[in-house]
Amino acid sequence: MASIDTLAAAKELQDAGFDPNQAEALARTVGKLESEHLATKTDLAGLRADLYRVALGIIGANAAITLGIVRFLG
């Protein structure tokens, strides 16, 4: 995952007129938020595996219900 370059962000904020302390604090805060709230490839791989297991369970349940209905009606 590409991470925010907080030093470059702080420099850009200073160039735009922010006080150096404000620029650094804002850049650090954005960096923290990014690392805390964005999913990594590993996070997504885990979710993909979970969804796959759920999908297989749904397919199995659907097959069992369909077979039960066919036997009941047949």
- Tens place of pLDDT per residue across the chain (74 aa): 457 888 899 999 999 999 999 999 999 998 888 777 788 889 999 999 999 999 999 999 999 999 999 999 98
Q: Could you give the count of Cα atoms lying within 13 Å of 64 in the half-sphere of its Cβ?
A: 6
19 plus 43 within the same structural domain: no
**pTM summary value:** 0.52
21 plus 8 within the same structural domain: yes
7 plus 19 within the same structural domain: yes
Q: What is the largest CA-CA distance in the chain?
A: 79
50 plus 73 within the same structural domain: yes
| Residue 25 domain boundaries | 1-38
13 neighbors 27 (Cβ within 8 angstroms): yes
Query: Crossing angle of helices 20-37/6-15, nearest 10°?
Result: 140
44 plus 27 within the same structural domain: no
With CA atoms as reference, report the closest residue to 30 among 14, 11, 10.
10
Structurally, the chain folds into a number of domains equal to 2
52 plus 34 within the same structural domain: no
1 plus 20 within the same structural domain: yes
